[in-house]
């Protein structure tokens, strides 16, 4: 008879085992360090601490880190980049001050993070100290930087609670977080408005790479989960889009290929690639967004990249978003995106889907949407063009505050 352990129990047992191992590890390590430096004068017990670590749980977040790393490298600041993707671009980057290392996928990589010895850790991964990724007692400061341009309350519940610092792009994100802290009786976190470094990069790339000549192109780029376009509309929306005569590109969320193949595979089989229909899986979405004229999505963060950085209209599905698993459930105020998305384009429902071609044409040609995009941008993208510099400034200042030292090699 085989022993079955459900996923929840397995996660609990893993966390328990990790905790016990951590206690033993840190005890042995501290004893070793004391013995090693017993006669070393003023050398600190934590002399082996890595000053600054960047953690990425997936290669697709390299675009978020790249502009920040570039700025830190320019300042001569050494960084350790720990990734859970063996083919992460960061492992072969040209930056001389960046040391990249593949730490393993899943729990193997997270175990490494749970034993980490560092002064500051920067990550876009939420859920610190909630799931398998636990805070290390040997890390002084955890910083979260968003990987999107929308609210932070659509992370899974308690997704940002245990970070020490949050780097955000809009005042509403600060207001939401402060409200959650008050409701949960938590201490106030460091929250700094820095902007969105990777969207700054998009604008820079666009100036060098204008959109190529192309037929009218519609990009469908959903998120993943139960409340998304492909889950709700399935094959029907693809049929309607093909009837428009426009070129159609469908770009499923990368997570769908991992956890939603039961939904996705029948659609892939029913609608193979053709001259009119294209399935896109590029790691970097710049080219596909650059040659598309309008985006159809749900609550994916791609909405804001496309509408604000590329300055193009979107059509968003009326998802009837279920906020019960998310931090948004705690708040009485409406999610910011519920007021932002209707200003970026039109809302797609089952009832108006047959009119989708007319909706696309209106969004492409009505200038009011460009003016409304400017409003939304001002609310969620502060300091355009300055994001990487402001993130680097924060990290340098925080390191000096913690240690009294400088991250730069050429300074005392």
Task: Express each pLDDT in 315-361 by its tens digit.
Answer: 998 766 778 888 999 999 989 988 998 899 999 998 999 999 999 99
Q: What is the pTM of this model?
A: 0.81
Two tokens, residue 163: 């970070």
User: Are the C-beta atoms of residues 129 and 157 closer than 8 Å to each other?
Assistant: no
Q: Taking residues 42-69, report their average pLDDT.
A: 80
Give the pLDDT confidence score for residue 4 in this predicted structure: 43
Q: Inform me whether the pLDDT recorded for 28 exceeds 90.
A: no
Q: Taking residues 138-148, report their average pLDDT.
A: 94
Give the pLDDT confidence score for residue 319 in this predicted structure: 62
- N-term to C-term CA, the chain: 65
User: Are the C-beta atoms of residues 338 and 176 closer than 8 Å to each other?
Assistant: no
- Residue 48 — pLDDT band, cuts 50, 70, 90? low
* pLDDT higher at 167 or 1: 167
- Residue 36 — pLDDT band, cuts 50, 70, 90? very low
* pLDDT higher at 285 or 43: 285
3-state secondary structure of 77: strand
Give the pLDDT confidence score for residue 14 in this predicted structure: 54
Least confident interval from 220-229, 258-267, 283-292: 220-229
* pLDDT higher at 45 or 269: 269
Give the pLDDT confidence score for residue 410 in this predicted structure: 65
Distances (CA, A) of 17 to 30, 112, 129, 257: 20, 14, 15, 30
Task: Express each pLDDT in 235-271 by its tens digit.
Answer: 999 999 999 999 999 999 888 999 999 999 999 999 9
User: Are the C-beta atoms of residues 128 and 122 closer than 8 Å to each other?
Assistant: no
Give the pLDDT confidence score for residue 2 in this predicted structure: 44
Q: Inform me whether the pLDDT recorded for 301 exceeds 90.
A: no
Quick one: DSSP state of residue 307?
I
- The β-bridge partners of 207 are none
* pLDDT higher at 234 or 123: 123
Give the pLDDT confidence score for residue 195 in this predicted structure: 97
- Residue 13 — pLDDT band, cuts 50, 70, 90? low
Two tokens, residue 139: 């890390």
Q: What are phi and psi of 123, to 5 degrees?
A: -150, 155
* pLDDT higher at 13 or 52: 52
In whole angstroms, what is the distance from residue 121 CA to residue 257 CA?
29
User: Residue 308's closest CA among 196, 408, 395?
Assistant: 196
Give the pLDDT confidence score for residue 318 in this predicted structure: 78
In whole angstroms, what is the distance from residue 27 CA to residue 45 CA?
12
């Amino acid at each position: 008879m085989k022993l079955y352990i459900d996923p929840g129990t397995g996660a609990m047992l893993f966390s328990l085992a990790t905790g016990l191992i951590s206690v033993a590890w840190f005890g042995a390590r501290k004893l070793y360090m004391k013995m090693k430096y017993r006669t070393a004068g003023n050398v600190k017990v934590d002399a082996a601490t890595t000053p600054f670590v960047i953690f990425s749980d997936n290669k697709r977040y390299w675009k978020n880190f790249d502009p920040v790393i570039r700025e830190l490298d320019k300042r001569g600041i050494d960084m350790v980049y720990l990734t859970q993707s063996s083919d992460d671009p960061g492992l072969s980057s040209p930056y001389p001050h960046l040391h990249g290392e593949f730490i393993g996928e899943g729990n193997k990589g997270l175990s490494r993070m749970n034993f980490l010895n560092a002064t500051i850790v920067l990550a876009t991964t939420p859920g610190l100290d909630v799931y398998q990724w636990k805070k290390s007692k040997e890390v002084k400061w955890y910083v979260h930087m968003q990987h999107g341009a929308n609210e932070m309350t659509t992370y899974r519940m308690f997704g940002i609670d245990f970070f020490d610092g949050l780097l955000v792009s809009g005042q509403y994100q600060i207001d939401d977080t402060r409200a959650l802290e008050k409701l949960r009786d938590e201490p106030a976190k460091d929250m700094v408005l820095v902007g969105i470094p990777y969207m700054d990069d998009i604008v820079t790339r666009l100036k060098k790479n204008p959109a190529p000549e192309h037929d009218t192109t519609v990009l469908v780029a959903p998120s993943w989960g139960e409340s998304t376009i492909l889950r709700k509309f399935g094959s029907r929306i693809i049929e309607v889009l093909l009837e428009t005569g426009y070129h159609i590109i469908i770009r499923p969320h990368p997570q769908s290929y991992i956890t939603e193949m039961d939904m996705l595979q029948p659609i892939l089989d029913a609608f193979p690639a053709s001259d009119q229909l294209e399935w896109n899986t590029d790691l970097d979405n710049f080219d596909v967004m650059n040659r598309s004229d309008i985006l159809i999505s749900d609550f994916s963060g791609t909405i804001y990249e496309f509408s604000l950085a590329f300055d193009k209209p979107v059509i968003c599905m009326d998802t009837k978003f279920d906020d019960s698993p998310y931090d948004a459930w705690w708040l009485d105020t409406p999610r910011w995106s519920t007021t932002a998305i209707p200003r970026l384009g039109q809302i797609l429902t089952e009832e108006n889907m047959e009119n989708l071609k007319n909706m696309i044409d209106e969004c492409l040609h009505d200038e009011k949407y460009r003016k409304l995009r400017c409003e939304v941008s001002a609310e969620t993208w502060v300091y355009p063009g300055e994001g990487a510099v402001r993130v680097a400034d924060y990290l340098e200042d925080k390191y000096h505050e913690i240690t009294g030292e400088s991250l730069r090699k050429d300074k005392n």
